[in-house]
Structure 1
Amino acid sequence: MYSRRKFIQTTITSGGAVFTTGLPLFNINSNSAQIQKDILGHGDFKYRVERDWSKANSNSHPVNNCHEMVLDKNNRLILLTDHPKNNILIYDTSGNILDTWTLNFSGAHGLTISEEGGEEFLFITDVGLGKVVKCTMNGKILMELEHPSKIGTYTEHAYYRPTETAIGPNGDIYVADGYGSQFILQYDQTGQFIRKFGGDSFLQPDKFKQAHGVAIDYRDPNNPTLLCSARIKNTFKRFTLAGEYLEDHYLPGAFMSRPVLDGENLYSGVCFGMEEGNYNMLLNKGFVTILDKNNKVVSNPGGTEPVYKNGKLELMLQELPVFKHCHDVCLDKDKNLYVCQWNADGVYPYKLHRV
Structure 2
Amino acid sequence: MDHIFGTGDFRYEAVPDWGRLPAGWSLKEVAAVAVDSQDRVYAFSRGEHPVCVFDRDGQFLTSWGEGLFSRAHGLHMGPDDILWCTDDGDHTVRKCTLDGRVLLTIGLPDRPAPFMSGQPFNRCTHTALSPEGDIYVSDGYGNAAVHKYSPEGKHLFSWGRPGMEPGEFNLPHNIVCDDAGLVYVADRESHRVQIFDGKGQYQGQWTNVHRPCSLFLGKGACPCCYVGELGPQLPVNKAFPNLGPRVSVLDMQGKVLSRFGELGGGPGQFWSPHGLCVDSRGDLYVAEVSFTAYPRYHDGKAPPPEGVRCLQKYRRVPA
Do the two structures share a fold, i.e. TM-score over 0.5?
yes
The 10-residue stretch of structure 1 (342-351 or 183-192) with the greater mean CA deviation from structure 2 = 342-351
Matching residue within 270, 281, 296 for 2:255: 296
1:139 match: secondary structure: coil
Q: Distance in 2 between matches of 1:244 and 1:210?
A: 18
What residue is the counterpart of 2:211 in the other structure?
255
CA contact (8 A) 2:44 2:72 kept: yes
Identity between Structure 1 and Structure 2 (%)? 26
Q: CA deviation at 1:279?
A: 8.4
1:74 match: secondary structure: coil
Q: Distance in 2 between matches of 1:351 and 1:192?
A: 37
Q: For the aligned residues, what is the CA RMSD?
A: 3.2
Structure 2 residue 16 is the aligned partner of structure 1 residue 51: yes
Structure 1 pair 52–227 and aligned structure 2 pair: CA distance change class (3 A): same
Give the letter for the 1:129 counterpart. Answer: D
CA contact (8 A) 1:182 1:209 kept: yes
Structure 1 pair 52–179 and aligned structure 2 pair: CA distance change class (3 A): same
Q: Distance in 2 between matches of 1:170 and 1:208?
A: 25
What residue is the counterpart of 1:245 in the other structure?
202
CA contact (8 A) 1:173 1:188 kept: yes
Q: Deviation per CA, 1:219-276: give whole Å up to 9, x if none.
A: xxxx320000001111110001111111111124x1112321103211011123379x
CA contact (8 A) 1:274 1:281 kept: no
Q: Deviation per CA, 1:266-291: give whole Å up to 9, x if none.
A: 1011123379x848999x94111111
Aligned length: 293
Give the letter for the 2:258 counterpart. Answer: S
- Structure 2 gaps of 5+ residues are 292-303
Q: Distance in 2 between matches of 1:194 and 1:157?
A: 12
Q: Deviation per CA, 1:127-156: give whole Å up to 9, x if none.
A: 111111111111111211134989999859
Structure 1 pair 293–334 and aligned structure 2 pair: CA distance change class (3 A): same
What residue is the counterpart of 1:195 in the other structure?
157
CA contact (8 A) 1:125 1:163 kept: yes
Structure 2 residue 292 is the aligned partner of structure 1 residue 337: no
Q: CA deviation at 1:103?
A: 4.4
CA contact (8 A) 1:68 1:80 kept: yes
Q: CA deviation at 1:321?
A: 7.0
What residue is the counterpart of 1:312 in the other structure?
none
CA contact (8 A) 1:110 1:163 kept: yes
Correspondence list, 1:92-241, <5 A: 92-104=55-67, 105-115=69-79, 119-147=80-108, 160-201=122-163, 203-218=164-179, 223-241=180-198
Structure 1 pair 157–124 and aligned structure 2 pair: CA distance change class (3 A): closer
Matching residue within 299, 306, 309 for 1:347: 309
CA contact (8 A) 1:131 1:147 kept: yes
The 10-residue stretch of structure 1 (154-163 or 291-300) with the greater mean CA deviation from structure 2 = 154-163
Structure 1 pair 74–171 and aligned structure 2 pair: CA distance change class (3 A): same
Structure 2 residue 282 is the aligned partner of structure 1 residue 326: no
Structure 1 pair 135–321 and aligned structure 2 pair: CA distance change class (3 A): closer
- Structure 1 gaps of 5+ residues are 1-35, 305-318
CA contact (8 A) 2:120 2:147 kept: no
Greater gyration radius: 1
What residue is the counterpart of 2:53 in the other structure?
90
Q: CA deviation at 1:349?
A: 1.5
1:237 match: secondary structure: strand
What residue is the counterpart of 1:311 in the other structure?
none
Q: Distance in 2 between matches of 1:80 and 1:281?
A: 30
Q: TM-score, normalised by structure 1?
A: 0.74
Structure 1 pair 351–173 and aligned structure 2 pair: CA distance change class (3 A): same
The 10-residue stretch of structure 1 (192-201 or 50-59) with the greater mean CA deviation from structure 2 = 50-59
Q: CA deviation at 1:328?
A: 1.6
Q: TM-score, normalised by structure 2?
A: 0.82
CA contact (8 A) 1:50 1:352 kept: yes
Q: CA deviation at 1:182?
A: 1.1
What residue is the counterpart of 1:16 in the other structure?
none
